[in-house]
Structure 1
Amino acid sequence: MHVVITGANRGIGQALDSRYRAAGHAVTGTARKGGEFLALDVSRSTDFDGLRSALDSRPIDLLICNAGIYPDKHHNLADGYPAAMWAEGFATNVTGVFLTVQALLPNLQLARTPKIAIISSRMGSQQLAPGGSYIYRASKAAALNLGRNLAQDLRHIGIAVGIYHPGWVRSDMGGDAAEISAADSAEGLIARFDELDLDTSGCFRAWDGQELPL
């Protein structure tokens, strides 16, 4: 199986990359600065030319859209959330997901049972909205909406799409006080990705299998 993971250089992406490699799968990981990974900043549309060239005509069985940012942590409504931060948040968490799928759609179509996994968050649920973190919540809600619509549009060509909450993970984004490790999150997410098929396409689930409200 060939797995492509955006944002594979740290946190959940790194844990997923390590586990898939250890299981013997071919993995293409991306990172903003490249290094041991394929260079890709999902917020820059020009970077996708390099992604297409690097993976030209190579089938992709599972695309994991994991790259994301949480720019507005601890901001307050009175004077926080500047316009530039909104633009950066949506460029990475929403437009970046769409452009990744769009760029690699031909590769997905070459696989027998292709799947797309979009890492969103329960913080994007409209029914679970306690306030605050407006940029992150709104962008993850948009990523959820994007995934739900892609699931409809890609069904007829046999591509299943799932949207997932990775849990509150101890990482640069989640912080040291978070509930689970990146390894635990990755193990649960991999089980969820294995379950994904056309019958469950469009699902919104947590890493532990819990169905989440939209």
Structure 2
Amino acid sequence: MTDGLWITLEGGDGSGKTTQAALLEAWLSAQGRTVLRTREPGGSEVGALIRDIVLHHRGDIAPRAEALLYAADRAHHVATVVRPALERGDVVLQDRYLDSSVAYQGAGRVLDADEVRDLSLWGAEGALPDLTVLLDLDPAAARRRLDAADKPFDRLEAEREEFHGRVRAAYLSLADAEPDRFLVLDADDAPERIAEAVRARVEPLLHPR
């Protein structure tokens, strides 16, 4: 939709998205590219308010309401942050996009995955990233990482292993359905090896023939 490059990072909580985003940002900057790091939810002022509700609200949120809140954040984020950056020719490096909603609200909350996806696509006017890096990690290993971080869990991190098992399965199904968009990597591998694999996939996108 633009002259820029849009890369999203997906995976369960504790899969190392933040680490890989930082490594990729440093490499892209060294290539002379302007990089915008952003996230969903929370990549805009409006999104920060929504993030506080969906991740830190102490009471229950109805699953459909949760899905709608994520979609509202996404619609605003794409319109006010992502599209302008891509039109400038920037590389947008984003932590989570609509695949997270399909996995967490669709599979995790047991909503209709197609409806969740269609809702996000409608809000984002059909926008899809050029590349989605999926960091795949067993939920038990992810929980050990989160426990070691010694910080309070948000609403989704605190869900049971069965929830996160459904999320992981949904992610892998999404990747199987769109192999041209997804790069699936073992998040249990060494961070630098993961980063090398990401760079190998990104490099041709920076210099298309």
What TM-score comes out, normalization by structure 1 length?
Answer: 0.45
Judging by fraction of residues, say which structure has more helix: 2
